[in-house]
Each structure stands twice: as C-alpha cells, then as structure tokens.
Structure 1
Amino acid sequence: MPLMHNLARMEAMAAGRAQPLTTVRHRHLSQHPLVLVPLTTAGEVGAPLGAMLGTDRDRPLLLTVPQPKDRDLRFAFLSDLAEALLPHLESALEETEQVREDAEVCTDAPQLLVPNAPGAEFVRLLGRSMRFRRTAEEDPQTPYPSPARVPLLGRWLTHYGERARVPGSSLLLSMTEVLTRHWATGQSSLEDQHLGALLAWLRAGPEGGGEAAALEAETARDEHGQLRTPPSGPSTDPAFDNRVLAPAVERYDAGLPGSAEQVHQLLGGQLRPVWDAMWESVDLLRRLPEGERVASRWESDRWSYTAHRDRLRAGEPPQPRRDDAVTAARKLSVRERDQARLRAQEALDDPLVMAERRLAGEAFVAEVTDSWMTYSQGRRPMPRPVLALSTEDVPQWAPGARAYRVLPSGAAQPAEFLAPEDGLAEGTAAAGEDDSAAESTAEGTAGPGELRLRLTGGMGRAKEPAPGSVPEVGDRVCWTLFEHAPRGGPSLPEPEDTPWTHGGPPQSGTPLPEPRTGERSGAGGSLGAGGHTVGAGSPGVTDPLAHSTLPDPVTAEDLL
C-alpha cells in the first residue's frame, strides 16, 4: 500500500472519519446501473440462496430459493435470474456508432454493481456454472435440461466476471473496492469489505465517531441475537443461518403452508439493508466529478462488450474452463499494460494521486529557470531545446532517463535528463547519434535542486518549435518519469506454434506409439511429450534435433 494511503488511514483514525484519497472519480458510473446483491448458502458457494436486483432503488426484485438442495428450485431461480438480468445486459446491443468502414462499437454498455469483491467473484462463479448447461433443444437426452436462457446468461456473467479482473474496467464494479479507492478509513482492508462498516466511516461528520459506528455496524445485535446490519453477502451470518433460516427451510421441507413465503421474507430482510447501502454509495460517488481519462477506459469496456456480442452472434462456443497458454499469456500482458495505464491516467487526472507518485520519486514539479535552443546533428537538424529546472522534489532520475509532460493538446511530450556537465560546450554532440543535440550556451553546472532536460519531441516538424510546445522561463511544470500511454509487451505466437511445454503440439515430425502401462524407457531413451518413449533406437524419429526440447530422461529419483 502506498505511503500516502497509510498516512490517510492514520488521519482517518485520528479524526474518526474517512479521508479523501482523490479529488475526482476514477471509475465510470452509468446513469442506470443494475445493482445485484447475491446470497449463497454456507458451505456450498455455488448454491444460490437468493438475490435482490434492479435499476430502480424503490422497486427491487427479490428472487429466493426456499430449498437450495433442490435442483429444480435452483434451476427455476436461475431461469428467473436470466429473465431479469438478460434484458439489461442486452439493452445496448443494437445502438452502435461507426468508427471505421469495417468496424462499429456499441455506444454504451450495461453496468453491474455488486457490494464487495466476493460478490464479484460469485458472479464469475455463477457464470461458470451456467454457461455449459445443456438445454432440451440442444440435447434431448440430457438428464437435467436447463432453461433455454440460462446458458446465455452464464456466458454474459463470465464475460463480466473476467472483465472485472482488468484494471480500470467498469463493467462489473465492487462497491467496497470503488469506495476505498476514493476514501481511506481507519480500519483494515478486510474490514472495508463490510459495506455497512465502510459507510459508517463515510457518514461520520466533523465531530468524528466513525470507529464506533463501524464497530456497531459489524457487531450490534438485536434481542434475538441477529445482526442489526446484515453482512454485504454473498455469505450470510451464521447466527441467522442456524437460528432463523434453517428452521424455516425445515418447515418448507415438511410442506407446511406459507413456509416458502416465510423464507422469501427472511431473505428479503437480509438483503434490503445492503440494497439501500448500495444506492447510498452510488449517491456518494456521483458527488465526485468524473476524471478526464475515465471515458477512454470506458470506451475499452464498450469494445469488449461489442466483441462479446459479436462472438455470440457468430455462434462461437462458450468460454473454455481453462485458457490455453497463449490466451492466458495475452490476458496477463493486457492486464499488466492496463494496470500501468490506469496508474498513469489516475495520476494525470488527480493532483492527490500525482502527489503519491511525486513522493515515490516517479514525478516532480519544477520551475523553468532558463532555456536555450540546440539542434540535432542529423541530416535534417531538428530543435532540441534544453531546460534548466529548479525543484524541491527528489525524482529518481539518471542521465539519459526519460521524462514526460502533458502538452496543452493533451499529448505527452518526451524529454531526457542531462547530466549537469553534459552538452555545455558549444557544438558538442553525442558521438554516433544522428538525433543527439549540440548545446550552444556558456559553461555551468546544475546545483542542488537543479535539473536539466532536453526536449526530444512534441514540437512539430518545422525547424522552429510550434507555439506553446516549449515551456517559458518562470513556468511551473509537472514532469513524470513514467509513460502516459504504456505500451504492451511483445507479440505472442499462435497456439499451433507454441512448444509442447506451453500447450502446443510436440515438435517431432511423427507421433510415437504410447508405452504400455508400467513400461520403462530403454537405455538411452527418454520420456517425451504425451508419454512417448524417444531416444536411441526409437522408431519414427527422422531428425535427431527434433526432440531437443523434450524433458530430461526419467531417473530413479523421479519415481517413488
């Protein structure tokens, strides 16, 4: 956790109220999001117990399962959930805008809000359990056919659950994670997963009292031993399960009249306080203005929503249970790139976030004390102005390191650090570099708190820099040592071109016969891909170098 977050937590503890971490909202918030508060049975995560959902805070839809062990009741619950969720998830499929001649993107994307991180994970788990269900139309012989819309909902929930793992995505938001990104409380991150306790810190006024209110929200019970503020789900309170829910389910199993309605009302009583807390959280977030670069990240969400729509329309199969090696590597690469992009954009949008990067030496604010023009020594000399800067920050720089600033147009202007003694004699230039600069000013060195930067771009293609592209003497400029638009990693091969160690086919030309059970490889042989015995005297090997990537030979130490 960054030092600024720890400081904000200590200030929140001392003041008894939450402290702001940002000045703007760094996540997109739809005008009509769908709030989903799920509940699941204790000890069986995949068995849904109930859910409260909807886009109208005054008219939530409550779905419950009076007996989660009953397969038919669970399928009926999933069918009702599909009928309630799919109209919202499919509401933006048809409204598109043309971005290229051969490409269009949906103008909006539906948004889902859940109380906490376990709720978001439950959405993903629910999607995984639903998308492979067989319907009676697909397979008349299936023993437990699923309603027709259930697998489709599973595919949508899987997409939203996977998208929630992408840094900066807003298709599926965990409310506790969004709130704790914008405010710091005086409690631990684990305690922040309780939405009621988190809101207690946010409700506290100038007089404080957030710690006591949060403790009451977590532990206060009524005369029947039940929590006054139910947990945020998807798990329920054990006291509620044992003393209230279990007897009600037993009455339903016994066939007593009104027992199903009683379970329905009991679960509604657990879900309604969380439902109200979710909409209170939405109101708090709406008070913050949206960050400037949030729209670009939401555009990425719209592209992912459009791509999933196209996959469904093309009749592609459901998402696999496990990604192959190349797909997993691509997902990891994209998430690493998006994480770097998110950190950069949040800092550029928010001075409080930028203060964290300045404290870490990843950015600095400096005043321009002097500047002089130099030119590159290439075939076409280009302007390379040098700036003398004075700063009170302590950036982690080195000669030749890159720095960036935001131009009035919004683009990033690159620069490079110069050593204090570099380029001071007129006409000097780095040997062997066409784009190196030759400084043309008198001698001098940078003292304490002084830096020199050479601008290397963002000035146009003319011999003279474009107006406004070079800071004036006296300007205070924020420079970053991180890129404003981080690039992705290297390209990855196709699955058929990967080695067998990463899911691709074996690199040998001819498949070899499988050894019999218990058969050991012969002398000089080794156990190849798929259990094939290869090596000296192995049939079918046409190239002795074809198995150069096979694993080491089996030895006595490999067997028990």
Structure 2
Amino acid sequence: MSVLTSLARLRAVQEGIAQPVTTVRHCHVAERPMVFIPLKLSGEAAAPLAAMLGDDRDHPHLLVVAQPRNRDLRFAFTAELAGVLLPYVQSFIGDTETVERKNADPYERALDAPQLLVPNRTGVAFTQLLGRSTRFRRADGPYPVDPSVPVLGRWLTYFADKAAYPGSSLMLAATAELAAHWASGQSSLEDANLAALVGWITSGPTPEAEDPSVWPPAGPVTDPGFDADVLAPAIDRGDPERLAAVLRTQLEPTWELMWRAADLLRALPAGASVERRWEHDRASYSAMTEDGPPQPRRDGAVGAASRLTRMERAQASYDVQRAYDDPLVMAEYRLTGEAFAGTVVETDPEHAEGEGRSRKLRPLVVVKSDDPVRLAPGTSLGTPQRRGQGAELVSAEDGLITLKITKGMGRGKTPVEGAVPEVGERVCYTSLTDDFQGAPALPEREATPWTHGGPPEEYVPRDEDAVEEWS
C-alpha cells in the first residue's frame, strides 16, 4: 500500500466515506457490458451451482444446476450458459474497420468488443476453471456435450487470460476496479466484499453490508449458513422451481450492486490512454474471432517465457500511462523521488551541443521544485505535458533542477513553438517513460533447450484432455 493510499484510508475513516485515489478512470467501461455472476457448490473446485448474467439491467438470465454433482446436468448448464453468452460475444464481429500498418498488411478490427463484468477476482478464477473444464470437451466420443460447450470454454479461457493482462478491460472484477479508484476505511481483504465497498463509496459503511441475510456474498462461494439451512434442503427436495427461487434471492442483490459499480466507474472521466488500450483489446478480440490461437493445457517453455515477457512489458507500459494520465498517481512517484514537479525559472531554447554538421539542438530548462529528486545525472526523463518529448537530467542542487531536452523539438535549427516550456510554466518530469522495447531473443519452439524439456510435441487435442479430477 502506498503512502497516499494509506493517507486516503485514514481520511476515509475520519470522514466516514471512501476517498478518491485517482482523478480519472483507468479502465474502459462498455456501454453494453455482460454482467456475469457465477455461484459454485461449496467444497467443489469447478461445480457450477447457478449464474445470473445479461447485458440488460432489467432482464437478467438465471441459470441453475439442479444437482451440481451430476455431470450431465452440469454440462447442460454450460450449454444454457453458451446460449446466452456466445450470442453476445459474437454480436460484435460484423462491424469492423480497416487498420493500416507501417511495413505490414492492413487488418480488420472490430469497432467494439464484448466486456465481461464479474463481482471479484475469485469470480475471474472460477471463470478460468470453468473454461478449462469445458474447452476440451467434444460433441462426439466419451461424454459428448453440446457443440457450443467447447466454444464457450475457449471464450471463457480467453476472457480469464485477458483479466490477468495489465491494462486490458475485456474482463473486469468490480471490487478490484473500485478499489483501484477509491480508498475505503477498511482493509484490502474487506474490500473484496462488494456490498461493503459500494457502501463506503456511495454513502459510508453500514452494518447491513456485512449481513449475509441482507447482502449475500457476491460469489462464487455462498454463505455457509445459507448452504446448511436453505440450499441443502432445496437440493435434496429435488424441486427445480424451489431451488431457482432460493438462488435468485442470493443473486439479485449482487446483480443490482454490479450495475451500481458500473455506474460509479462510468461517471469518472476516462484517462487519456484508456481508448488506446481498448483499441488493443478490440484488436485482440478480432484475432480471437478468427479461430484464435490454440489453447493447450499447459504452455511450453518458450511459450511461457514469451507470455511472461509480454505481460511484464504491458505492466510497465500500464504503470507509465496511469501516471501520465493522472496527477494523483504521479504524486506517488514524486514522493519516491522518481518524478518531480515545479515551476520553470529559466530557459535557454538556443542551447546546442557539438559543432558543424554534428551540432545538435539541446535546449536547457531550469525548474524550481520542492520535491525530493533521487535520480542520477544523465537519467532519461519524460513529461505528461508534452508526450513524446524526451529530456535528460543535468543536475539537481538546492531545489533547482537543470535538464536538457533531447527530442520532440522538430527538425529545424530552432525548437518548434511550444516545445520548450516557458518561464513561469508548471511542469512535471519523471524517469517513467513508455519508450518502445524490443522483444527478447527467445529460441524457436523447435530449439527449446534440453534444460527446459527440449522441443515440445505438437499439440493435438485428445479425449484425455477433457479429463479433470474436479470435472
């Protein structure tokens, strides 16, 4: 937990209401998201019990498994789930735009993409398990299922994978996104309670938020008291209508909370980089609609290293974009000395280095700042005010910071207008930069060294893939 977040939590306790820790929204919120609230049977890893889902606030779909331990009923449930979810996911395929690329062929990108909203991170984890237990199923052979079930499994796996990808908004956990934008007066563990967190943000804490009889858990696990006193007798009775009625009481409060959470996030102005990240999501979705990449049970050594590299680069880029978009986020880096803000007190726009043809324009800027600067001379700097501009720290002494601008001034002998900050202007510079980073040189799959298992066999789906201890 950062210093500013800790301070915001203390202030939330003092004032009795959650405090904002951002000035803008750092995720995309779709106009027509698919809210998905899964429940599972207690004590089972991936035995679905019920789900409430839909993209219409006033018309949710309730799906129930009458006997979650019955394999046939479970896969009948997933077929029903596919009947609701797949039409929504595939409804964005038709409308596309042509994207031109430098030194590459143009491609078609969907104008919009589906978005799954689940209550919490455990909902994401259960979605991943449900996808893994269904994507290898087949419509023929042992234990045949409806043809839509493996398609559903591939999409659930895709969305769960994207939920772990930094900056992606294809699948969002409501509690995680709310906690990233507001600091409540409770612990991070308590922030996983959707009712309590929404209460802190909207009106302040209430005892009812932690009462499971008023606000049931947001899933996928149900309340133990409900399991023993209500759920177990309803399952034993074998009355599907009675079971659906009792499960509806557990899901409807969360359904309303999910839409309130979406409203809270949507009310915040979007950060400048949110649209660009959503473009990447739309491109990823478009690629997935064209059969997508294979989804083996486990990545090979090269595939796993490549995935880890992509996620590390995405995390670094996401951190930079959040800081550049949001002064409150940047303030965290100012406290640690990785950024500074101040007022320009002196400039030398004509300063240059070298002679003759090697002469390079390098304007000097002196900034007066009270921020601690823990950066070494020569450190590369960027600025949110002039994205794409590069600078270098020259010195930092007695509150006066001298830097020289190294790029983003145009190609002339003098800087273009506005490229050099003016005296009296408030500026911010940081060592956080979103410069392009090339991918590391990884061997081809066929050249995987013996220390990492050697070249993996070509993945071919088999009936054994569908066998899981918990499915």
Q: TM (normalized to structure 1)?
A: 0.78
Distance 1:7 1:327 in 2: 42
Q: Deviations over 1:14-43 (max 9, x none)?
A: 211100111111100000001000000001
List alignment gaps of at least 5 residues for structure 2.
457-471
* Alpha-carbon shift at residue 485 of structure 1 (Å): 4.1
Describe how 1:345-384 pairs up with structure 2 within 5 A: 345-372=321-348, 373-377=350-354, 379-384=357-362
Partner residue of 1:127 out of 124, 131, 149:
131
Aligned-residue RMSD, C-alpha = 1.6
The letter for the 2-side match of 1:78 is: T
Question: Which secondary structure does the structure 2 equivalent of 1:456 belong to?
Answer: strand
| Structure 1 counterpart of 2:431, one-letter code | L
What SS is found at the alignment partner of 2:237? helix
Whether the aligned pair in 1 keeps the contact of 2:395 and 2:403 (CA below 8 Å) is no
What's 1:242 paired with? 228
8 Å Cα contact 1:340/1:486 also seen in 2: no
Q: Can you list the C-alpha shifts for 1:75-111, whole angstroms capped at 9, x where unaligned?
A: 1101100000000111111211111243221111100
Q: Is 1:216 aligned with 2:208?
A: yes
What are the residue-to-residue correspondences of 1:395-414 with 2, within 5 Å? 395-406=373-384, 408=386, 411-414=387-390
The CA distance in 2 between the partners of 1:2 and 1:61, in whole Å, is: 40
Query: In the TM superposition, what is the alpha-carbon distance from 1:459 to its structure 2 partner?
Result: 0.9
Query: How far apart, CA to CA, are the structure 1 residues paired with 2:455 and 2:121?
Result: 38
**Residue matched to 2:463:** none
Match of 1:334 in 2: 310
Q: Percent identity?
A: 50
Q: Deviations over 1:365-391 (max 9, x none)?
A: 122222223222263312111122211
Contact 2:325 2:384 in 1 (8 A): no
Contact 2:127–2:157 (CA under 8 A) maintained in structure 1: yes
C-alpha contact 1:381 1:463 (8 A) present in aligned 2: no
Cα distance in 2 between the residues matched to 1:330 and 1:242: 46
Q: How does 1:408-423 map to 2 (within 5 A)?
A: 408=386, 411-419=387-395
Determine helix, strand or coil for the equivalent of 1:465: coil
In the aligned structure 2, how far is the partner of 1:407 from the partner of 1:456? 15
How many correspondences in the alignment? 450
What is the CA-CA distance between 1:407 and the residue it aligns to? Answer: 5.3
Partner letter of residue 232 of structure 2?
Answer: A
1:486: how far off?
5.6
For 2:188 and 2:90, the matched residues in 1 are separated by 35
Counterpart for residue 188 of structure 1 = 187
C-alpha distance in structure 2 between counterparts of 1:333 and 1:486, whole Å:
14
Deviation at 1:481, TM superposition (A): 1.3
CA distance in 1, matches of 2:80, 2:270: 35
The residue correspondences of 1:90-239 to structure 2 (distance < 5 A) are 90-100=90-100, 101-136=105-140, 142-204=141-203, 210-211=204-205, 213=206, 215-218=207-210, 220=211, 227-239=213-225
- Aligned equivalents of 2:365, 2:196: Cα separation in 1: 51
Give the secondary structure class of the aligned counterpart of 2:429.
strand
| Greater relative contact order, per chain length (Cα 8 Å cut-off, separation 6+) | 2
Alignment of 1:277 with 2:288, yes or no, is: no
What's the secondary structure of 1:328's corresponding residue? Answer: helix
1:187–1:488 CA distance, 2 compared to 1 (3 A): farther
Question: Structure 1 residues 59, 505: closer, same or farther in 2, change over 3 A?
Answer: closer
Superposition pairs of residues 45-56 of structure 1, within 5 angstroms: 45-56=45-56
Give 3-state SS (helix, strand or coil) of 1:152's partner. Answer: helix
Q: CA deviation at 1:487?
A: 2.7
Do structure 1's residue 294 and structure 2's residue 286 form an aligned pair? no
Q: Within 1, Cα distance between the matches of 2:196 and 2:436? A: 37
Rounded to whole Å, the distance in 2 between the matches of 1:485 and 1:505 is 34
8 Å Cα contact 1:344/1:482 also seen in 2: yes
The aligned amino acid for 2:229 is R
Q: Is the 8 A contact 2:324 2:383 kept in 1?
A: no
C-alpha distance 380-407 of structure 1, shift in aligned 2 (>3 A): farther
CA–CA distance in structure 2, aligned partners of residues 461 and 236 of structure 1: 64
Q: Tell me if structure 1 keeps the 8 A contact 2:320–2:432.
A: yes
1:260, 1:488 → 2: CA distance?
A: 56
Q: 1:505 to 1:127 in 2, by over 3 A?
A: closer
**Partner of 2:382: helix, strand, or coil?**
strand
Give the match for residue 33 of structure 1: 33
The aligned counterpart of 1:42 is 42
> Which structure is higher in helix share?
2
What is the CA–CA distance in structure 2 between the aligned matches of 1:488 and 1:277, rounded to whole Å? 43
Q: Which one has a bigger Cα radius of gyration?
A: 1
The one-letter code sitting in structure 1 at the alignment partner of 2:156 is L
Output the CA distance in 1 between the equivalents of 2:251 and 2:438: 42
TM-score normalised by length of structure 2: 0.92
Contact kept? 2:385, 2:428, Cα under 8 Å: no
1:396-420, Cα deviation, whole Å (9 max, x unpaired):
1111111112455xx3211111147
For structure 1, the 5+ residue unaligned runs are 137-141, 205-209, 222-226, 253-258, 421-446, 507-560
Corresponding residue of 1:452: 402
Q: How does 1:81-92 map to 2 (within 5 A)?
A: 81-92=81-92
Counterpart Cα distance in 2 of 1:469 and 1:266: 64
Deviation, 1:489, is 4.7
- The residue correspondences of 1:452-531 to structure 2 (distance < 5 A) are 452-485=402-435, 487=437, 489-505=439-455
Check if 1:69 corresponds to 2:52: no
* CA shift digits 1:239-292 (9 cap, x unpaired): 11111111111111xxxxxx1110011111100000011011111112111111
